[in-house]
Amino acid sequence: MIQTTDVLYKKIIEVRWADCDANRHMRHTAYSDMCAHTRVSFLQYIGMNDAWFKESNLSPVMFKEQTEYFAEMFMGEEATITVELGEDTGSEKSVCWVNNVYKKDGTLAAKHQVVVGWMDLGLRKIVKLPLLATDTYLKNLLSEPAMGKLESENVT
């Protein structure tokens, strides 16, 4: 079942034909694509929209990405994808986020983890995390009553 205590954001996405491989189940790269799409939606949700990126001249960069698979997903199924905080990276320049991918019945289909940082596009250097992306800021979001009422976005 979906554990909502540490969920910062969630999105429901339908598995499309283009997301499937010759085995008729969701291809491994589609999990990564859907998780990336969910993380971008989350960034917009917390205020890191296109205008924010232009003004700050920062862009997220990925240092590590890994996925564990637990159950197949098939064309037409709904995937609920969460954004959660992962383990502390021990650095002010990176954060670990976990995307859990659930089937409609709550079965965990995959766990996708990324470690990301932010690059200053002018300096071409990795910089300290913006406030909106720090563990402390995001943990504070979890304690706010409004976070329990996250609106999921359905994407088909």
pLDDT > 70: percent of the chain: 85
108: β partners = 102
The pLDDT, as a whole number, for residue 149 is: 40
The pLDDT, as a whole number, for residue 151 is: 45
The pLDDT, as a whole number, for residue 1 is: 52
φ, ψ of residue 29 to 5 degrees: the values are -70, -25
Q: Is the confidence at residue 153, as pLDDT, over 60? A: no
First to last CA, the chain: 22
The pLDDT, as a whole number, for residue 145 is: 47
Question: pLDDT band at 132, cuts 50/70/90?
Answer: confident
pLDDT, tens only, 44-82:
999 999 999 999 999 999 999 999 999 999 999 999 999
Q: What is the mean pLDDT of residues 15-40?
A: 98
pLDDT > 90: percent of the chain: 77
- Pairing, β 7-14 against β 125-127: unpaired
Place of tokens 């197949």: 72
- Answer yes or no: pTM beyond 0.95: no
Question: pLDDT band at 150, cuts 50/70/90?
Answer: very low
Burial of 59 per CB tally in 10 Å (0-12, 13-18, 19+) = exposed
Domain boundaries defined on the chain: 7-143
The pLDDT, as a whole number, for residue 147 is: 44
The CATH class of the 7-143 domain is alpha beta
Alpha-carbon distance of 111 to 145, in angstroms, equals 26
Tokens standing for residue 131: 């406030």
C-alpha dist (Å) from residue 119 to 2, 62, 94: 33, 10, 10
The pLDDT, as a whole number, for residue 5 is: 62
